[in-house]
């Protein structure tokens, strides 16, 4: 999470346990191939096999809209052997939307071109290319098309934040839309949005049918949440 989940926070949260992997704040890819120093500043973990101190893999998140430029950045980044490269198609903030951000969700064909360009960058097969999306801009009409486009483009996992851009961070969260995507899309889906406690975790899994869940603000509000989830609701398993 931009402005929040830096390497220090990633280290503290993953040390508490319960995470399979984590992801950096996004890097804007706008006009150039960024130098390695930009990535190592964002993720000092790159100097430690792209893992936090307790060994949790850290994926690097890119945000942009130009397939060739994103591919060139991914190829350059791949030389640093990141644990994964994640493409962000879900950022709703106005500054980011000048660089498109969630606006790309109106153009599934462009999402597919971005994903396949990054996959063919070349990024070695050992480095997963994953993506994160919201459900759409104003409504969730094209959410399934976007997920299918990313699947066709070759992403290996897809995190879906169950809101549109217009939903912002408001009270409406549409877990049931993730369930509809899951019925059609084969690639592993990770459900995201409004998981603040173990009961929310159980509910989002039940509604979406997803085995995996991404924690955002809930992880910061309760640094032991992932561990409690992993331990089946108990802080200290017997
Ligand atoms: C301050 C802030 C910064 C965020 N930055 C990012 C980001 O850099 N990349 C990203 O994929 N999502 C980002 N998000 C979205 C979260 O990852 C997550 O999708 C969203 O908060 C919903 O999940 P939650 O209800 O568990 O927080 C950010 C959210 C917040 C509140």
pLDDT (tens digit, 9 = 90+) per residue, 155-202?
999 999 999 999 999 999 999 999 999 999 999 999 999 999 999 999
* DSSP-H helix ranges across the chain: 7-16, 36-42, 67-78, 94-98, 108-119, 143-153, 175-184, 198-208, 217-221, 225-230
Q: Is domain 7-230 in CATH 3.20.20.70, yes or no? A: yes
pLDDT (tens digit, 9 = 90+) per residue, 36-73?
999 999 999 999 999 999 999 999 999 999 999 999 99
Which atom, in ligand 1's list, is nearest to the CA of 161? 19
- Cα separation, 77 vs 60, in Å, equals 9
* DSSP-H helix ranges across 161-230: 175-184, 198-208, 217-221, 225-230
Percent of the chain with pLDDT over 70: 93
Q: How close is the Cα of 12 to the center of ligand 1, in Å?
A: 18
* Coil, helix or strand at residue 80: coil
* pLDDT given for residue 93 in this prediction: 64
Other residues' Cβ atoms within 10 Å of the Cβ of residue 131? 29
Which residues are near ligand 1 (CB < 6 Å)? 1-4, 25-26, 61, 88, 90, 132, 161, 192-195, 215-218
Give residue limits of the domains in the chain. Answer: 7-230
- Cα separation, 125 vs 47, in Å, equals 20
- The overall pTM is greater than 0.85: yes
Q: Which long-range contacts (CB under 8 A, 24 or more apart) does 201-205 make?
A: 201/229, 203/175, 204/175
């Amino acid at each position: 999470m931009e402005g929040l989940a830096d390497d220090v926070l990633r280290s503290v949260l993953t040390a508490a346990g319960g995470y399979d992997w984590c992801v950096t704040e996004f890097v804007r890819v706008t006009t150039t191939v960024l130098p390695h120093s930009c990535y190592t500043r964002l993720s000092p973990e790159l100097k430690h096999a792209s893992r936090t101190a307790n060994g949790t893999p850290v994926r690097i998140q890119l945000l942009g809209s130009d397939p060739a430029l994103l591919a060139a950045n991914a190829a350059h980044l791949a030389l640093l052997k990141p644990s994964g490269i994640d493409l962000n198609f879900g950022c709703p903030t106005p500054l980011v939307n000048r660089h498109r951000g969630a606006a790309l969700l109106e153009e599934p064909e462009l999402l597919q071109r971005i994903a396949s360009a990054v996959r063919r960058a070349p990024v070695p097969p050992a480095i997963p290319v994953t993506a994160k999306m919201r459900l759409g801009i104003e409504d969730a009409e094209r959410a399934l098309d976007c997920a299918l486009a990313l699947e066709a483009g070759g992403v290996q996992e897809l995190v879906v934040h169950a809101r549109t851009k217009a939903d912002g961070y408001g009270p409406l969260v549409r877990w049931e839309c993730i369930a509809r995507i899951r019925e059609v899309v084969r690639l592993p889906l990770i459900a995201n949005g409004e998981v603040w406690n173990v009961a929310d975790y159980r509910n989002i899994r039940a509604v979406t049918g997803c085995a995996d869940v991404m924690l955002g603000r809930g992880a910061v509000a309760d640094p032991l949440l992932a561990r409690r989830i992993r331990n089946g609701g108990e802080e200290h398993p017997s």
